[in-house]
Chain A
Amino acid sequence: MPEKLYIDALREGLREEMLRDENVFILGEDVGLYGGAFGVTKGLFQEFGEDRVKDTPISEAAIAGAAVGAALCGMRPVAEIMFFDFFTIAMDQLVNQGAKNRYMFGGKAKVPMVIRGPMGCGTGAAAQHSQSFPAVFAHFPGLKVVMPSTPYDVKGLIKASIRDDNPVVFAEHKLLYRVKGEVPDEEYIVPLGKADVKRKGKDITVVAGSIMVIRALEAAKQLEKEGIDVEVVDPRTLKPLDMDTIINSVKKTGRVVIVEDDPISFGWGAEVAAGIASSSAFDYLDAPIKRLAGLDIPIPYNPNLEKHAVPQVEDIIKGIKDTLR
């Protein structure tokens, strides 16, 4: 199978859906000639023209709201928000409008849109360009939330998200763009709401999302040398959340560490922990559920502080060992 970068796989997914359905279009800041701040839409402007790859003014509220409006009228917009932090500016249109329209209108409307952007720290971009907070959106009925960790998943999930008839928040991580992985040439879809076991193991379950999947897999690789067999489960979509796969894994291993990139308080890891504790897996637990996540601080600029703000491979190794003790 050919190996591709996450960013290229994502672009391929966008392109295929644009070829397949002329209602699909892209809008956002610098997505045209410039190809997006991170290069996700590179070349699409040249291929599809400025009507379908639309540069907008710097107006996140209008980007999100225009996507909602166009979606209500049968288009399938994919809105790019340059950095995940700026979702807050788009929030009202997304949360009070897009998420609620269908139910509020008695189930008559459809809002088939995707709003996507890169989250996460590790590039020295400081507090207003580094936060991960996909879980916030999982709190709003009507929204779906996706956070792919691999090139394979990002392509399959962007296609599923575009075809979905609901507003989907698509959270990428900027450090994932340069990650390589296998992506088949044939067409495929990764359905929303299905977790994936990224690595099979019998001693302990690590539930990790987004960039933390990569770090958890690295931790697992290192621990293998010490004879510790780690299973890594990636929920892939936060909403809908596939608890079954997680519960089955925990029943098998009896121990679980949850690893998030978001600040720890009220994070999705708490939802997963509660889901495990209130399920049939509870009786199988041989140790308390452990959570590793970002500190409750805005992301600091200094590289060393920044590194300490979210879990790193060493932290995951330590968390696993503590839970096995």
Chain B
Amino acid sequence: MSLTRDKKLWMYRKMLEIRHFELEVDRLFKANMIWGTCHLSVGEEASAVGSIAALEEKDMITSTHRGHGHCLAKGGELPRMFAELLGKETGYCRGRGGSMHIADLEKGNLGANGIVGGGIPIATGAALASKMRKDGKVTLCFFGDGAANQGCFHEAVNLAAVNKLPIVYICENNLYGMSVPFRKASSVENIADRATAYSIPGKVVDGNDVEAVYQAVKEAVDRARRGEGPSLIENKTYRWLGHSKSDANVYRTKEEIEEWKQKCPIKRYRQKLINEGVASAEELDRMEKEVEQAIQDAIEYAKNSPEPRVEDIMDGVYA
């Protein structure tokens, strides 16, 4: 499972895209251009990118409230994402969903979710459909450490295990569920330890090492595709910013945040790519400029897009 140069550069670019996207959203939020709430994944980019890098295009994911990164890594388009955040008709959900509900069904993204844990049974059902229709697809199910304490987590993983469904459960453990520390909410040291309860493989991964994430998820995806059933992978990571827009970080220390910033997944990978001669610093800088430009273009597109029409407000409740 060695990575091609293209794949490595793709992973780097996607992480940059997510980082810049999130920081731009933060700015737009503070400028009152984005309404409602949103949850940013700055610091967690390697988890989304490394995991999704292990998929084929036809495969599917379910995402979470912290879902911009998953969407982008699964091929989400910047203009339609910004348009959604600005509540525009050209957005992924025609401005009806906003940050917590972006779905990109054509690309196999079955949606972010406002209900913590809500995507876990949905992903399981997607894998059930794949098994029944023998379409060869695998589903990645993203959820947080907090979500793992919802009853539906247990119900869904057990259902997948007894049916040997083609699914990989990916817990993005960023050490907190909102303000509550992981160790105060879960009796186990690792969510992956719970795999034992379902007799499925469980693995803890350094979630800030994009290649390590890729390797672990690839192994689990291959296993799922061979019909051998689900796995549970836990990416240990950290969110740099507050839980959502209204968070003063009272529940953690500046030192802890600083310490994790030192483990920046992007900086780390950049160094690795340069050291291994995959790309030069100049090439990577150029890539970053391109990403920044694409993001500015996407914001322009979103700003110039039309608002939804009030006359259409009843559209789309029923098929």
Contacts and interface: CB of A to CB of B under 8 A. Distances in A.
Contact of B178 (A30, A301, A309): A30
A301 B314 contact: no
Given A57-B180, A126-B101, A308-B313, A301 B96 contact: yes
Contacts of B87: 301-303, 305
Given A30-B180, A86-B115, A123 B307 contact: no
B166 interface: no
Contacts of A62: 151
A308 B36 contact: no
A309 B314 CA distance: 9
Contacts of B146: 57-58
B149 A57 contact: yes
A126 B36 CA distance: 8
Contact of B35 (A37, A124, A298): A124
A123 B36 contact: yes
Interface string B288-319: 00000000000000000001101001100100
A305 B314 CA distance: 10
B151 A58 contact: no
Contacts of B314: 295-297
Interface residues of A, number: 36
Given A58-B147, A128-B115, A29 B180 contact: yes
B177 to A, nearest CB: 5
Contacts of A57: 146, 149, 177, 180, 185-186
A100 to B, nearest CB: 20
> Interface of chain B, helix or strand or loop or mixed?
loop
B53 interface: no
A125 interface: yes
Contacts, number: 120
Contacts of A305: 87, 95-96, 308, 310, 313
> Interface of chain A, helix or strand or loop or mixed?
loop
Nearest to B115: A128
Contact of A297 (B36, B150, B308, B317): B317
A59 interface: yes
B316 to A, nearest CB: 8
Interface size class of B (residues with CB under 8 A): 35 or more
Given A55-B184, A59-B151, A296-B317, A33 B179 contact: yes
A239 B306 CA distance: 44
B117 interface: yes
Contacts of A128: 100-101, 113-115, 118
Interface string A129-162: 1000000000000000000000000000000000
Contacts of B149: 57-59
Contact of A124 (B98, B118, B186): B98
B114 A302 contact: no
Nearest to B34: A124
B75 interface: no
Nearest to A58: B146
Nearest to A60: B150
Interface in A25-39: 29-30, 32-34, 37
A127 B114 contact: yes
30 contacts: A29-B177, A29-B180, A30-B179, A33-B179, A33-B250, A34-B180, A55-B180, A57-B146, A57-B177, A58-B116, A58-B146, A62-B151, A85-B114, A85-B115, A89-B115, A123-B36, A124-B36, A124-B98, A125-B100, A126-B101, A128-B114, A129-B37, A129-B114, A296-B314, A297-B314, A298-B96, A302-B95, A302-B308, A304-B310, A305-B96
Closest 10 CB pairs of A and B: A124-B36, A128-B114, A301-B98, A57-B149, A302-B87, A34-B179, A124-B35, A57-B185, A302-B95, A58-B146
